[in-house]
Amino acid sequence: MKKLYALVALFALTIGSAGMSDARSHRDKQQTESVAGVFDYYLLTLSWSPTFCLTHQNNPQCSGKGYGFVLHGLWPQYAKGGWPESCPPMVPLSPAEQKQGLTLFVTPKLLQHEWSKHGTCSGLGASGYLNVADKAVGAVKIPDKLKPLSTEIYFPAQEIVQMFRQSNPGIPEDGIAVVCRGPELSEVRVCLGKDLSFGSCGKGVKSQCRAGDIRVPPMR
């Protein structure tokens, strides 16, 4: 009988422990869910449009408008790595906000995507997020050598980093990343504080380009 009582007690303890573990797991999951306004810094992502257009020739962005760098997005980020996304409440853009957004983003589809996935997590509302994105783009000066080009040029990725840092003296060494798509320049990403001051990037943000020269395609 004592053995039976011991087994029953052990079973009850096991079930209780499992329940506590499940509760902790659920609580931890809740703590890591995306919450609007809960992030550490912004990642301003500027896309080199001619590279995008190499594989998206039918996109409205690629209809001979001669874009160089365009706003891909302003992304809330966590300093320890990762980012929030699609934060509730998922409020659609109003007609006025869509009009405002199209002064920043090159296509309606990109605007809608960036607002729903990233902008909702700013905690600023749509108009507030778009205002901050506008200011963020204005805070970064494009190097003269990388303004829309009529002929292709080649640079090592690190030289592109240095060009941006020379044009924007406040960017620290670990505050910018260059991303390539194969042998071509794809994006430049600059880390900004919530006040849009230049700052260091968080974990996981780094340059992603091959060694040696990378191609910067001309404008279309």
Domain residue ranges of the chain, discontinuous segments joined by +: 1-32, 41-216
173 vs 26 pLDDT, higher one? 173
How many Å apart are CA 149 and CA 164, to the nearest integer? 17
Superfamily of domain 41-216: Ribonuclease T2-like (3.90.730.10)
How many Å apart are CA 185 and CA 25, to the nearest integer? 42
Active-site residues: which are they?
72, 114, 118
- Enter the tokens of residue 74: 């302003």
pTM recorded for the entire structure = 0.84
Per this entry, what is the length of the chain? 220
Instruction: Please list, in sequence order, all residues whose beta carbon lies within 8 angstroms of the beta carbon of residue 60, skipping any fewer than 6 positions away.
Output: 106, 107
Interval 184-207 mean pLDDT: 98
pLDDT at 219: 83
How many Å apart are CA 48 and CA 217, to the nearest integer? 9
pLDDT at 32: 61
State the average pLDDT for the chain: 88
Digit-coded pLDDT (tens) for 34-80: 999 999 999 999 999 999 999 998 999 998 788 999 999 999 999 99
DSSP-derived secondary structure for the chain: -HHHHHHHHHHHHHHHHHHHHHHHHHHHHHHHS--TT--SEEEEEEEEHHHHHHS-TTSGGGSS----EEEEEEEEE-TTS----SPSS-PPPPHHHHHHHTTTSSSHHHHHHHHHHTGGGSSSHHHHHHHHHHHHHHHSPPPGGGSS-SS-EEEEHHHHHHHHHHHSTT--TTSEEEEEETTEEEEEEEEE-TT--B----TT---B--SSEEEEPPP-
Interval 94-111 mean pLDDT: 97
